[in-house]
Amino acid sequence: GNSVTQMEGPVTLSEEAFLTINCTYTATGYPSLFWYVQYPGEGLQLLLKATKADDKGSNKGFEATYRKETTSFHLEKGSVQVSDSAVYFCALSDDGGATNKLIFGTGTLLAVQP
């Protein structure tokens, strides 16, 4: 079945450091890929998405490229801020068009220190 695997956290970085959170997926079809962010005590917010191979999603300085050959969608940011501290979830949507059901990874906690 379809699944998402994320690197385990926590990831602890100093402010202005470079961030990479790895995400790989398994899917039978051609999924759409997403990164969601969850701040403490809040629901999920869409950070970025890509719907086909080689697409790059970007938002708020974060980027991720849909790599079909490596089945990956790694999240990157060139310079993190304390306000980026949150849990990041990689997800895919691949339900043959019937639903926009999302399959999530287990999440990666990012802690940015001043």
Partner 1 sequence: ETGVTQSPTHLIKTRGQQVTLRCSSQSGHNTVSWYQQALGQGPQFIFQYYREEENGRGNFPPRFSGLQFPNYSSELNVNALELDDSALYLCASSFQTGQGTEAFFGQGTRLTVV
Q: Which residues form the interface with partner 1 (CB under 8 A)? A: 4, 31-32, 36, 41-46, 49, 51, 89, 91, 93-107
**Minimum distance, C-beta of residue 106 to partner 1, in the bound complex (Å):** 5
Judged by CB, which is closer to partner 1: 10, or 78?
10
Query: Which CB contacts under 8 angstroms, 24+ apart, belong to 96-102?
Result: 96/29, 102/34
Distance between CA 20 and CA 51 in Å, rounded?
Answer: 21
**Minimum distance, C-beta of residue 80 to partner 1, in the bound complex (Å):** 22
Judged by CB, which is closer to partner 1: 107, or 112?
107
Judged by CB, which is closer to partner 1: 84, or 94?
94
**Minimum distance, C-beta of residue 12 to partner 1, in the bound complex (Å):** 17
Judged by CB, which is closer to partner 1: 28, or 114?
28
The answer to whether 15 and 80 have CB atoms below 8 angstroms apart is yes
CA angle 74–15–42, rounded 5-degree value: 65
**Minimum distance, C-beta of residue 18 to partner 1, in the bound complex (Å):** 25
The answer to whether 36 and 14 have CB atoms below 8 angstroms apart is no
53 φ/ψ angles, rounded to the nearest 5 degrees: -55, 140
